[in-house]
Chain A
Amino acid sequence: MSDYQKFLPEGIPDSHLPFWDSLREHQARVQRCDDCRAYRYIPKDLCFRCHGDRATWTAVSGAGEVYTYTVVRRAPTPAYQADAPYVLAHVTMTEGFRMIARLTGAEPEAVRIGMPVVIAYEDVTPEWTLFTFRPAGAPGGPGLAQS
């Protein structure tokens, strides 16, 4: 029985499960359009660029740079508040799409727009793995060379 008190994903449609499975395998895969090759993060039925309806779950580099961020000081629940202040970042991945997660391994004051980051995985329960971003090359982070 998990004592994890934060929100876990709810209502995930079966069609989205390959993404969440890929997190559990510590190798994020997102949809890539079979027709125009555009990547998209949160799964969709149509490609936003060419409207194709075929896509392949494709492994991503896990590297990107901070597009924008915030430091959350008033969190949604006590379990999150225990971590505050924490950084949430929108990151533009090298493949051209954006992802949203915590940015850990850097003091909030040190975070900058444009800062290079890489994905790190976090097994929060036996069923669910989430991810964070960490500064690229930071100690303890999965540097690009290791990925």
Chain B
Amino acid sequence: MGRLADVAVAGVYQTQQGDLSDCRQPSVWWESVRGACADAGLSVGDIDGIIGDGPLDPGLRDRMPAPGIAEQLGHPLRFHARSAVGAGSTASGLNLAAYAVSHGLAEVVVIANAVAGRGGGYASADRDEAVAAMAKLSGPYEYVYGTTRVSDCAVMAMRHMHDYGTTAEHLAEIAVAQRHGATLHPLSVHGRRGELTIDQVVGSRLVADPLHLLDCCSINQGGGAIVVTSAAGAAAVGRHPTVVLLGYGEGHSHIDPNAVEKLTEFPAARLAADTAFGMAGVRRDEIDVAGIGDHFTIGVLMGLEDAGFCGKGEGGAFVSGGGTALGGRLPTNTSGGFLSFSHAGICGIFTLIEVVEQLRQEAGPRQVPAARLGFVSGVGGVQQAFSAAVLGRA
């Protein structure tokens, strides 16, 4: 039986992000997969395992995507699994891929995310339709009162401010830091809008107090994929420095927000991070670069606290003065995150790809010097489920 660290992220790829309503989702899915294979020095014909969703196809085909993919590849796939941590499923998908490869169940496993076309619901390119669809994710005990995804997180920020003195300016630091990274990434959705200032963020209109418009991610479309192989295989191809999964953990705690003791502290996030760091044998202060689910700025602030990078209530001080910016104490979501890079579907894949590019030293103008160890925390739902990973350059 192999170890996690014998497995590498061998290839990554991201498509154009933004409004892909003129594209077919299957085309974006295959573009992502083909691109990630090429980045790994492989071709789609080498794929023998799949994690997560495939090209959209009606009915049962969507629930069971591997046979349809195998049919197009012309050979059977040996593995398919699906994780269920919502937008944070990417790190958990990586763990499943690592399991498959380290156990000899598959050799080349792809994880892909693609959102495109004119379908409705929360994948819609129409913002009003997507907002209405997302509002109902909370369930009838909340949505009847007019909750939204923003309000679900705003109540957390409100209580965090009350308990710990966190301010709107603290939250704005996160948006400002991430926008800077986005300006340095040609595929980012919002980088072309230029830099932000703290005054601009706190001066943007309130969406759900205390969260301002620029504390929130927008909704867009896009694709991305990752290819996982054995570390030895990736090293033999030699196209990139080898990035391996050193540790992994999950935490799932509650589905109804009234059923968790506090809305400012999520022990399941701590559990996921502790498991990942323990497995990796890595300390928090050794991490060079982080990716933390950032549907809203408050998610990053609480995510840093809950993952143990600072104490509970110390997130405001941690992010102050560009704490999460390039050059700061812990560069986080350096391509812009969901806030400024892309918020499409299982968007945690973009978080993970950026950490991989950093550890490869291939992040160009965003490069964190000598980055060797990275941490990823994928957040599912509204702080309901977490998957955490520690990655390293071999």
Contact = CB atoms under 8 A, between A and B. Distances in A.
Interface of A: 6-12, 40-42, 48, 67-77, 80, 83, 86, 88, 90, 97-102, 108, 113, 130
Contact of B258 (A90, A108, A113): A90
Contacts of A83: 146
B132 A77 contact: yes
Contacts of B159: 67-68, 113
A18 B257 CA distance: 21
A8 B132 CA distance: 13
A77 B147 CA distance: 10
B156 to A, nearest CB: 7
Contacts of B141: 9, 41-42, 100
Nearest to B255: A42
Contacts of A73: 205-209
A94 to B, nearest CB: 15
Given A11-B140, A73-B207, A76-B134, 4 more contacts: A10-B140, A68-B162, A73-B209, A76-B136
A67 B139 CA distance: 20
B236 interface: no
29 contacts: A6-B146, A8-B144, A9-B140, A9-B141, A10-B140, A41-B256, A41-B259, A42-B259, A70-B211, A72-B146, A72-B147, A72-B151, A73-B207, A74-B150, A76-B131, A76-B135, A76-B147, A80-B146, A83-B146, A88-B155, A90-B258, A90-B263, A98-B258, A100-B145, A101-B145, A102-B146, A113-B158, A130-B144, A130-B145
A42 B258 contact: yes
Contacts of B259: 40-42, 48
A73 B204 CA distance: 13
A74 B127 CA distance: 12
Chain B contact surface mostly: helix
B142 A100 contact: yes
A76 B257 contact: no
The CB with the most chain B CB atoms within 10 A, among A6, A73, A113, is that of A73
Contacts of A40: 259
Contact of B145 (A102, A108, A113): A102
B301 to A, nearest CB: 15
B131 A42 contact: no
A50 to B, nearest CB: 15
Given A41-B258, A97-B258, A90 B146 contact: no
A42 B208 contact: no
Nearest to B129: A77
B155 A90 contact: yes
Interface string B63-88: 00000000000000000000000000
Nearest to B256: A42
Contacts of A7: 135-136, 140, 143-144, 146
Contacts of B8: none
A88 B132 contact: no
B263 to A, nearest CB: 6
